[in-house]
């Protein structure tokens, strides 16, 4: 019985870690670099 | 607007195509001072980039190749805009570069000059004597501690003694250069119209390495710690490229293709990014290490110049707007 619990807990940990890694990779790929933001502009007229 | 926004102290300096040179507060964009060059004759353009040295900012002016056009080198006090001296010439469309106490610049008429930094007093001139009927834009000189390197209208690269203006060597490549020169240590880099990039020994002019690239190198190259960046252009396809090479020209690190071609004067490198702009108003950044696109922002106009200071990026567009962007 304890052997089954140990296997169950181990598999759960592995699945959690795998899911965590996938999520991290996905986040890294999908997060765009922030685009520049305009602070000011000056018109020289030509 | 062509001159690259140059930053010194709390100011950013830009020259407009309407003939006015501006000092703006780099944080707020407020005008600090300006100088209208049209009051000194028929001139409106700032094709070259300024030289900032101590209290001075020096810039060249021109009116292309118009027969009655004039040009100057101005030395402004960079805080007040007071003209310390001005040197009249036929045209000065190049950067102003410095070796020791002298400055160096070129003209559309393929006349190259040295003058004293503090007074503008002429030191020497050098001319290839080759006419320039098609009005090719003179490419900016580069310097090391002893020499000035120029590309003449005849397509020949000259090494001039900085003190005397006498040619030390000259080198004609198989076909004419299509880019400005870049220099590091004892190596000169230049692209040619047959899709090649060369590394020349700056002491002798001998070719030490060359590499074939997939389109014609254009504009000005940029050198960083371990990379050399060129713009390439395929006119038939209106495609532009940024190519990153190892400085020994042993290999291409990466290439990024885009349409339309790039219009800013050189690949601008800052904060781990290569930044370039085109005439659709797109300002784009790519990672220096692998060319991966990082961001793109749309401005209004044809982006001709990019400069930076810390976390602020400055972009000048041909239609006359200077943008300050936080990035």
Comparing alpha-carbon positions, the chain B residue that sits nearest to A46 is: B320
CA-CA-CA-CA torsion sign (B48, B84, B91, B180): negative
pLDDT value for B1 = 59
ipTM here: 0.89
Comparing alpha-carbon positions, the chain B residue that sits nearest to A30 is: B294
- pLDDT tier for residue B157 given thresholds of 50, 70 and 90: very high
SS3 content of chain B, % helix, strand, coil (to 5): 0, 55, 45
Quick check: helix, strand or coil at residue A4?
Answer: helix
**Least confident piece of the model among A24-33, B229-238, B317-326:** A24-33
Query: Cβ distance B29 to A43 under 8 Å?
Result: no
pLDDT in tens, B281-293: 999 999 999 999 9
Comparing alpha-carbon positions, the chain A residue that sits nearest to B284 is: A35
pTM of the complete model: 0.88
Length of chain A: 46
Is the confidence at residue B78, as pLDDT, over 50? Answer: yes
**Cβ count within 10 A of residue B245:** 22
CA dist B291 to A43, B182, B237, B243, B280, Å? 32, 21, 21, 9, 21
Distance from CA of A6 to the nearest CA of B (A): 45
pLDDT value for A24 = 37
Residue of B18, B295, B324 with shortest CB distance to A40: B324
Contact flag B29-A43 (C-beta cutoff 8 Å)? no
Q: What is the overall mean pLDDT for chain B?
A: 95
Is the confidence at residue A16, as pLDDT, over 80? Answer: no
A32 shares contact with chain B (CB less than 8 Å): yes
A41 shares contact with chain B (CB less than 8 Å): yes
Q: What percent of chain B has pLDDT over 70?
A: 99
Query: Cβ distance B74 to B37 under 8 Å?
Result: yes
CA-CA-CA-CA torsion sign (B39, B43, B49, B53): negative
* CA pair distance B130, B137, nearest whole angstrom: 14
Average pLDDT over residues B69-97: 95
Which of the pair, A31 or B31, is modelled with greater confidence?
A: B31
* CA pair distance B268, B4, nearest whole angstrom: 10
**Least confident piece of the model among B132-146, B169-183, B260-274:** B132-146
**φ, ψ dihedrals at A26, nearest 5°:** -60, -40
Quick check: helix, strand or coil at residue B129?
Answer: coil
Is the confidence at residue A28, as pLDDT, over 50? Answer: no
Is the confidence at residue B149, as pLDDT, over 80? Answer: yes
């Amino acid at each position: 019985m304890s052997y089954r619990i140990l296997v169950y807990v181990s598999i759960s940990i592995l699945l959690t870690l795998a899911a965590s890694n996938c999520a991290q990779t996905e986040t890294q790929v999908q997060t765009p670099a922030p685009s520049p933001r305009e602070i000011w502009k000056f018109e020289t007229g030509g | 607007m062509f001159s690259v926004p140059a930053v010194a102290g709390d100011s950013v300096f830009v020259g407009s195509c309407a003939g006015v040179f501006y000092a703006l507060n780099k944080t707020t964009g407020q005008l600090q001072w300006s100088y209208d060059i049209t009051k000194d004759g028929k001139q409106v353009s700032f094709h070259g980039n300024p030289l900032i040295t101590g209290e001075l900012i020096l810039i060249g002016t021109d009116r292309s190749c118009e027969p009655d056009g004039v040009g100057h080198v101005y030395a402004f006090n960079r805080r007040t805009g007071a003209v310390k001296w001005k040197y009249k010439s036929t045209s000065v469309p190049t950067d102003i570069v410095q070796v020791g106490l002298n400055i160096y610049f070129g003209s559309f008429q393929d006349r190259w000059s040295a003058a004293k930094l503090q007074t503008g007093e002429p030191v020497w001139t050098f001319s290839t004597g080759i006419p320039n009927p098609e009005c090719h834009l003179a490419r900016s000189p580069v310097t090391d501690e002893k020499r000035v390197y120029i590309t003449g209208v005849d397509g020949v690269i000259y090494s001039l003694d900085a003190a005397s203006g006498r040619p030390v060597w000259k080198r004609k490549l198989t076909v004419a250069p299509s880019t400005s020169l870049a220099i590091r240590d004892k190596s000169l880099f230049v692209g040619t119209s047959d899709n090649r990039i060369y590394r020349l020994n700056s002491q002798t002019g001998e070719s030490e390495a060359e590499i074939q690239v997939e389109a014609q190198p254009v504009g000005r190259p940029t050198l960083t710690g371990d990379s050399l960046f060129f713009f390439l252009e395929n006119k038939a396809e209106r495609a532009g490229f940024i190519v990153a090479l190892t400085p020994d020209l042993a290999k291409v690190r990466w290439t990024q293709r885009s349409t339309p071609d790039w219009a800013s004067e050189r690949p601008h490198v800052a904060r781990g990014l290569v930044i370039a702009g085109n005439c659709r108003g797109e300002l784009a950044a790519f990672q220096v290490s692998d060319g991966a696109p990082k961001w793109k922002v749309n401005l209004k106009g044809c982006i001709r110049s990019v400069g930076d200071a810390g976390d602020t990026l400055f972009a000048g567009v041909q239609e006359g707007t200077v943008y300050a962007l936080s990035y």
